[in-house]
Amino acid sequence: MEKILDVKNLQVSFQTFFGEVEAVRDISFSLEEGKTLAIVGESGCGKSVTANSIMQLLPKPPVVYKGGEIIYKGEDLLKKSEKEMTEIRGNMISMVFQDPMTSLNPTMKVGAQIIEGVRRHRNISNEEGRKYAIEMLERVSVPQPEKRVNQYPHEFSGGMRQRVMIALAMASKPSLLIADEPTTALDVTVQAQILKLMKTLQKEFGASIILITHDLGVVADMADDVIVMYAGQIVEKGTVDDIFKNPSHPYTQKLLAAVPKLTMDRNETLHAIDGTPPDLYKPPQGCAFFDRCDQAMVICENHMPGFFDSGSGHYNRCWKNHPSYTRNGGAE
């Protein structure tokens, strides 16, 4: 299958008054056409910086791209001008945010916003535009679309606004949809509806999706492939089956153990991950998870593990999985 996106050795930093924040530290991953890739990890691990880098939405400065490439359909997005990126955004790559108000214009009727988005790339009459906006609202199951098309974002409930944002994002039939925590602020029923809707639209338009979420239940439901990020790095990547059935990095194992289960006993406690991720002003020299890891070895403190392949594209960054690691001797 064709790769639609190929991120190679991406390094993104923020130059701040206090020094450099190494937000994304040499990450590589790719996405195949029509597939869904989930990015998971604790707060501050670099998920949004990765997504916003693909969209080139981060202001430079303070952001500096220190290295790497973001190849979309064979071309490096990091080399595109702002004019070229404007053409790509909203036309070929769209983004859905956690807070719809960040992408909806509060002073404009939603129909007009959908039409404006399409008009940037296609010449359509007012009447055609209106019809298309109504059709898009209908597709995302907004009731009474003929009436709703003339309303402002504040007249919609949170879940409905999220639908409108998805309609706006999908209106130009993008080949890549990036959704950053699209349902975190919604209640579970609405969340399920929105996710189902994204899946349906993906099938209809053949789009590929990057889904950023804290919710591993959503990942299991939606994703084909998963990358697990920690302290600006990818610590594990594989298919959804690899990650859920055979997690090989201690961080992934702990993330999974922290998910509440229906079968849990009343007295059973959840396995929270003790401690906090390291400061990215001065990221640790060795494994970033070292001080929270109950399987850590001497080597982990000062030596950064590379990627080990535990089988057909299932990669992880843990010394324990080094081919020479033996249970009693550690990595040799």
Ligand X SMILES: Nc1ncnc2c1ncn2[C@@H]1O[C@H](COP(=O)(O)OP(=O)(O)OP(=O)(O)O)[C@@H](O)[C@H]1O
Give the shortest CB-186-to-ligand X separation in angstroms: 16
Write out the binding residues for Mg ion, residues 66-105 only, by CB under 5 A: none
Among 5, 27, 38, 47, binds ligand X (CB under 6 A): 47
Bridge partners (DSSP) listed for residue 316: 236, 308
Which x/- pattern, by CB under 5 A, does the window 42-71 give for Mg ion? ------x-----------------------
Nearer to ligand X, 59 or 106 (CB): 59
CB closer to Mg ion, 160 vs 178: 178
Complex with ligand X: residue 31 or 331, whichever CB lies closer: 31
**Residues in the chain, overall count:** 332
Applying CB under 5 A, which part among 23-31, 40-48, 241-249, 257-265 lies near Mg ion? 40-48
Residue 230 CB, shortest distance to Mg ion, in Å, is 14
77 binds, among Mg ion, ligand X, none (CB under 5 to 8 A by kind): none
Q: Smallest gap, in angstroms, from Cβ of residue 102 to Mg ion?
A: 12
Question: 255-294 mask for ligand X (x: CB under 6 A)?
Answer: -------------------------x--------------
Tokens for 104, please give them.
């909806």
**Which helix H or strand E contains 193, and what residues bound it?**
helix 188-205
Residue 85 CB burial class (10 angstroms; 0-12, 13-18, ≥19)? middle
Residue list 9-38, contact with ligand X (CB under 6 A): 14, 16, 21, 23
| Nearest distance in Å: CB 254, Mg ion | 20
Of 43 and 326, CB closest to ligand X: 43
Nearest distance from C-beta of residue 230 to ligand X, angstroms: 10
Strands 233-239 and 315-316: antiparallel
Residue 16 and residue 61: Cα distance in Å, rounded? 9
Span 55-114, contacts to ligand X by CB under 6 A: 62
Contact between 133 and 111 under an 8 Å Cβ cutoff? The reply is yes
Tokens of 103: 């992408």
> Is residue 43 near ligand X by the rule CB under 6 A?
yes
- Residue of 44, 90, 278, 286 that binds ligand X (CB under 6 A): 44
* Cα(232)–Cα(27) distance, integer angstroms: 8
Shortest Å distance, C-beta 77 to ligand X: 17
The first and second tokens of residue 5, run together, are: 């996106």
Q: In what order do the strands lie in the sheet with 19-32?
A: 19-32, 3-16, 63-72, 75-76
The contacts found for 43-48 with CB under 8 angstroms, 24 or more apart, are 43/214, 44/277, 44/280, 45/229, 45/230, 45/231, 45/232, 45/277, 46/12, 46/229, 46/231, 46/232, 46/233, 47/180, 47/212, 47/229, 48/180, 48/212
**Residue among 45 and 201 whose Cβ is closer to ligand X:** 45
Kindly state the smallest distance separating residue 277's Cβ from ligand X, in Å: 8
Rounded distance, CA 178 to CA 195, Å? 13
* Of residues 48 and 208, the one with the C-beta less far from Mg ion: 48
Binding site for ligand X (CB under 6 A): 14, 16, 21, 23, 41, 43-49, 62, 280
Binding site for Mg ion (CB under 5 A): 48
